[in-house]
Amino acid sequence: MLRRIFVHEMQSNANLDAFYALRRNQVKKSIKDVYGKNGTTIDVRMLAYSTVINMMTSMFWGGTLEGDIGANINAQFRDAVSELLIIWGKPNISDFFPFLASFDIQGIQGDMKRASRWMEKIFDFVIDPRTKNNTNISNNDFLDFLLEFKDHETRKSLSRPQIKALSCGVVSPFNYVLSSLLYYMSPPWQNLSPLLVIYFVCSIFNGQDIVIGGTGTTSTSFEWTMAELMLHPEVMKKTQEELTKVVGDANVVEEYHFHKLPYLQAVVKETLRLHPSAPLLLPRCPSQTCTLGGYTIPKGAKVFLNAWAMHRDSQLWENPYEFRPERFVGDSNKLDFSGNKFHYIPFGSGRRMCAGLHLGERMLMYTLATFLHMFHWKVPDGEKPDTGEKFGIVLEKSTPLIVIPTPRLNNLKLYH
């Protein structure tokens, strides 16, 4: 039921359109911040991360938390998420020797419990005023939607744990947050091991960052795209020329412009071909023993799909290591993120593909289009972006991309 609510209800076009104003406000704030750093260096990864996570928290509880209170709770949430990311990145010896799990030799379970309780307190702080005030005033955000939701079949409202779980799915970078909350919150999840809970949640949401990742994968994809554009100035020029033609010098980018920006869409697709956020996707488990390519795959085995290798296979792609967005232009533009063509599956395929695809795609396109339209970008003199990769929860650049922005439009009022 949770996946159905998230995919078909919360991510319907009508709901995503309804929350557009909240996304727009956060992007405008980021534009103002970048304008204030005109001519100085900026860490693209941090710019993208802060913009995306602010969009996510704004869409969830942005209708009620404003001013200092809102800034404080958002800062706490970012800190909690950052701590969870550090915990997940640590190698856990009990993954290889399960009998050691109960001893928590490295203290990872203790750290996870503490971070999860911190996360739960944040959600309680946000949810409690809405439920106690019993007001009919709409705040036009995801939390309103969840509190008012009734299942079409049972006509039952969502429970507090369900609201927290779905809330975590909306605003958190990874499903592991949701798994952790379920495990440490209440029965029946406490009867299962954390690993089983994670696999259960992965089976619901495909384990990838629910909002394509929400913050982690979206900000990583943003950085990879900017890095490729820095390395290929002719592509950058063509992309910005398209934006000028469609949006105009006197306007800012709006989401309704997207369908008129085929070249920018091709740039995003080509970036995700070379740099898929989850290079091995998430493990699948066959429900019965089967044979594939002469190999026997036992029932219940963990199967990883190497999307990174498939996207660089010379039998499937011409000059696969070359960054060439034109391969997705024209008739090839029909090659999308749906996973119907198995040589291009940056978000997986089938019923368990990334549940947050539609929202994530909107956020990535919106942030990229806006920052490319509003600013010129260059790397500091004497430097050149590298494309080294650092494998982890997501496929990040090995070194952060540092750039210098300068205003691109003549109407400076658009930056305030």
The residues facing 284 across adjacent strands are: 303
Extract the annotated binding site.
Answer: 354
Q: Could you write out the three-class secondary structure of 190-221?
A: HHCCHHHHHHHHHHHHCCCCCCCCCCHHHHHH
At 403, is the secondary structure helix, strand, or coil? Answer: strand
Rg (the chain; Cα; Å): 22
Measured torsion, CA atoms of residues 185, 190, 193, 194, in degrees rounded to the nearest 10: 0
Q: Which of 1, 143, 149 is nearest to 58 (CA)?
A: 143
Give yes or no for a contact between 205 and 71, defined as CB atoms under 8 angstroms apart.
no
Show binding-site residues for heme: 354
Sign of CA dihedral 217, 43, 397, 195: negative
Positive or negative: CA dihedral 187, 191, 197, 200: negative
pTM equals 0.81
pLDDT of residue 353: 79
CATH of domain 216-415: 1.10.630.10
Q: Which residues contact 384 (CB under 8 A, 6 or more apart)?
A: 231
Q: How far apart are CA 317 and CA 305, in angstroms?
A: 18
DSSP letter assigned to residue 257: G
Look at residue 182 in the predicted model and tell me its pLDDT.
44
Domain ranges of the chain: 2-205, 216-415
Enumerate residue ranges in the chain where pLDDT < 70: 1-10, 62-71, 85, 88-89, 133-140, 150-152, 165-215, 332-333, 392-393
Per-residue pLDDT tens over the stretch 60-88: 776 555 666 666 777 777 777 777 767 76
User: What's residue 321's pLDDT?
Assistant: 97
Q: For position 49, what pLDDT does the model report?
A: 87
What is the pLDDT, as a whole number, of residue 332? 58
**Which is nearest to 228 in space by CA: 315, 107, 164, 323?**
323
